[in-house]
């Protein structure tokens, strides 16, 4: 009898202990939740201050005719700003000419993220491989050791077509096209600057060839492949690729000199695409860039954008899928510049922070604006660019 009472008392003590422990744990969890909520509240208020500061400064710079463009800004995975400053016409500041996020800009080298995604889509469909030789698609090429991966990561050693064509423009007497670039590479076989996969050197020639490979494999123009395979589900509507016979659509803006009443003239390299040549809106770039954020089209071997490839000699390739890499900052970035247009994407993966910036006013303070925004976000001292 005494033994039963003893065990019963022990059992009661055990129940009391468990109840007390659960209550304490519940209280601690509630306290922790409350603390986290307060921290989030402070972060949100601080983000609101930063948002207001950046918005106010850019509005003032635009009012002074020092900045005309668009900004998408994300911090800790939350959108702070997604708007434009200025007008579509430098000297018509009325409601009919307000710049919007649906207006398309020439995005320069930022076009390479679209080309890289096109290649990855074809890889996903088992239509090509990174190990495919260049000779598989260009039978007459003398570069037997060149592969698609060398083009994609700028480790091919191919020289820059822009340098060649700018020095030999009189030979063309007209606008250059992708066909001219390919004829130069395949027909003339310019000397490689280094053996493939032994070094890294940024060359837009690589991405012109990649755009052509997309066309050969898909039997579609590169722009049509983009629209039909990558853009339908992303609500991307303002992509534009200029051709000689096409009139520029109304959703495209002109680039102008900020200090005089003159738009930029045409350029004889403006119809070359793959590395550049593409027009896109802030809205389009943001939607498309989510591909990288979600690893939507990439193979398992490269699902981590910050796990860079290494060349045979052990050198790290500071480039992936159309983006430059800064490993110490966990930063993916790409910038482009063309006849008064400037574009840039900076994505800090660890902080879930992103800046997309577009201008069309031949801005001399483009990178200063980006640096100011970055410093404000990071709580550092900043300088207002005027």
> Using an 8 Å Cβ cutoff, are 231 and 288 in contact?
yes
> Tell me, what's the pLDDT at 174?
77
CATH code assigned at 280: 3.40.710.10
Residue with tokens 């463009």: 69
**Would you say residue 194 lies in a domain?**
yes
Looking at the structure, tell me whether residues 163 and 50 fall in a common domain.
Answer: no
**Would you say residue 185 lies in a domain?**
yes
> Using an 8 Å Cβ cutoff, are 87 and 68 in contact?
yes
Half-sphere exposure of 134 (CA within 13 A, CB side): 25
SS3 state at 254 = coil
**Would you say residue 25 lies in a domain?**
no
Looking at the structure, tell me whether residues 123 and 97 fall in a common domain.
Answer: no
Looking at the structure, tell me whether residues 343 and 368 fall in a common domain.
Answer: no
Looking at the structure, tell me whether residues 90 and 223 fall in a common domain.
Answer: no
Split into its structural domains, the chain has a count of 2
Looking at the structure, tell me whether residues 165 and 225 fall in a common domain.
Answer: yes
In degrees and rounded to multiples of 5, residue 35 shows phi and psi of -65, -45
Looking at the structure, tell me whether residues 303 and 171 fall in a common domain.
Answer: yes
Separation of alpha carbons 335 and 67, rounded Å: 17
Containing structural domain, residue 179: 104-329+337-348
**Would you say residue 19 lies in a domain?**
no
> Looking at the DSSP assignment, which residues form a beta bridge with residue 53?
none
Looking at the structure, tell me whether residues 167 and 268 fall in a common domain.
Answer: yes
> Tell me, what's the pLDDT at 287?
87
Residue with tokens 């020439």: 106
**Would you say residue 9 lies in a domain?**
no
Half-sphere exposure of 25 (CA within 13 A, CB side): 6
Q: Residues with Cβ < 8 Å from 267, sequence gap 6 or more?
A: 338, 339
Least confident of 124-138, 198-212, 247-261, 358-372: 247-261
Separation of alpha carbons 57 and 267, rounded Å: 33
> Tell me, what's the pLDDT at 296?
55
Using one digit for the tens of pLDDT, what is the confidence trace for 34-47?
545 544 555 568 88
Looking at the structure, tell me whether residues 93 and 111 fall in a common domain.
Answer: no
Using one digit for the tens of pLDDT, what is the confidence trace for 205-226?
999 999 999 999 999 999 999 9
In degrees and rounded to multiples of 5, residue 151 shows phi and psi of -70, -45
Separation of alpha carbons 86 and 89, rounded Å: 9
**Would you say residue 22 lies in a domain?**
no
Separation of alpha carbons 380 and 376, rounded Å: 6
Identify the DSSP state of 62.
H
**Residue 273 clears pLDDT 90, i.e. is over it:** yes
Looking at the structure, tell me whether residues 71 and 163 fall in a common domain.
Answer: no
In degrees and rounded to multiples of 5, residue 381 shows phi and psi of -65, 140
Looking at the structure, tell me whether residues 112 and 241 fall in a common domain.
Answer: yes
Walk across the sheet containing 353-359 and list its strands.
78-85, 69-75, 353-359, 341-348, 331-338, 323-326, 319-320
**Would you say residue 6 lies in a domain?**
no
Looking at the structure, tell me whether residues 92 and 110 fall in a common domain.
Answer: no
**Would you say residue 7 lies in a domain?**
no
How many other C-beta atoms can be found within 10 angstroms of the C-beta atom of residue 354? 21
Separation of alpha carbons 46 and 377, rounded Å: 10
Nearest to 118 by CA among 307, 286, 321: 321
Using one digit for the tens of pLDDT, what is the confidence trace for 51-78?
999 999 999 999 888 899 999 999 999 9
> Tell me, what's the pLDDT at 303?
47
> Using an 8 Å Cβ cutoff, are 121 and 227 in contact?
no
Highest-pLDDT range among 19-23, 154-158, 234-238: 154-158
In degrees and rounded to multiples of 5, residue 281 shows phi and psi of -90, 165
Looking at the structure, tell me whether residues 226 and 285 fall in a common domain.
Answer: yes
Report CA-CA distances (Å) from 116 to 226, 308, 350: 11, 15, 23
For the record, the structure tokens of 379 come out as 């709580």
Least confident of 60-64, 300-304, 348-352: 300-304
């Amino acid at each position: 009898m005494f033994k039963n009472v003893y065990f019963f008392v022990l059992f009661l003590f055990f129940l009391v202990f468990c109840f007390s422990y659960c209550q304490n744990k519940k209280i601690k969890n509630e306290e922790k939740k409350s603390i986290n909520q307060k921290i989030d509240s402070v972060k949100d208020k601080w983000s609101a201050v930063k948002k207001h500061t950046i918005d106010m400064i850019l509005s003032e710079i635009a009012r002074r005719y020092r900045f005309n463009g668009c900004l998408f800004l994300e911090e800790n995975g939350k959108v702070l700003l997604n708007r434009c400053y200025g007008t579509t016409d430098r000297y018509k500041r009325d409601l009919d000419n307000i710049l919007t996020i649906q207006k398309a800009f020439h995005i320069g080298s930022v076009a390479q993220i679209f080309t890289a995604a096109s290649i990855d889509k074809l890889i996903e469909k088992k239509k090509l491989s990174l190990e495919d030789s260049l000779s598989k698609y260009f039978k007459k090429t003398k570069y037997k050791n060149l592969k698609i991966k060398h083009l994609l990561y700028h480790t091919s050693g191919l020289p820059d077509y822009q340098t060649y064509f700018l020095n030999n423009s009189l030979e063309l007497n007209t606008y250059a096209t992708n066909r001219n670039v390919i004829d130069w590479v395949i027909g003339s076989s310019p000397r490689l600057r280094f053996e493939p996969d032994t070094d890294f050197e940024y060359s837009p020639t690589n991405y012109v060839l990649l755009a052509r490979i997309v066309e050969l494999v898909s039997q579609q123009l590169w722009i049509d492949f983009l629209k039909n395979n990558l853009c339908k589900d992303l609500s991307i509507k303002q992509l534009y690729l200029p051709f000689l016979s096409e009139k520029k659509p109304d959703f495209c803006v002109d680039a102008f000199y900020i200090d005089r009443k003159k738009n930029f003239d045409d350029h004889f390299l403006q119809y070359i695409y793959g590395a550049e040549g593409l027009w896109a809106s802030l809205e389009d770039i943001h939607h498309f860039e989510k591909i990288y954020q979600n690893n939507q089209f990439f193979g398992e071997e490269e699902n981590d954008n910050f796990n860079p490839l290494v060349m045979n000699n052990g050198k790290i390739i500071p480039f992936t899928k159309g983006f430059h890499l800064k490993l110490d900052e966990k930063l993916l970035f790409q910038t482009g510049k063309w006849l008064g247009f400037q574009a840039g994407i900076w994505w800090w993966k660890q902080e879930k922070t992103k800046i997309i910036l577009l201008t069309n006013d031949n801005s001399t303070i483009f990178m200063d604006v980006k640096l100011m925004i970055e410093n404000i976000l990071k709580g550092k001292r900043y300088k207002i660019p005027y």
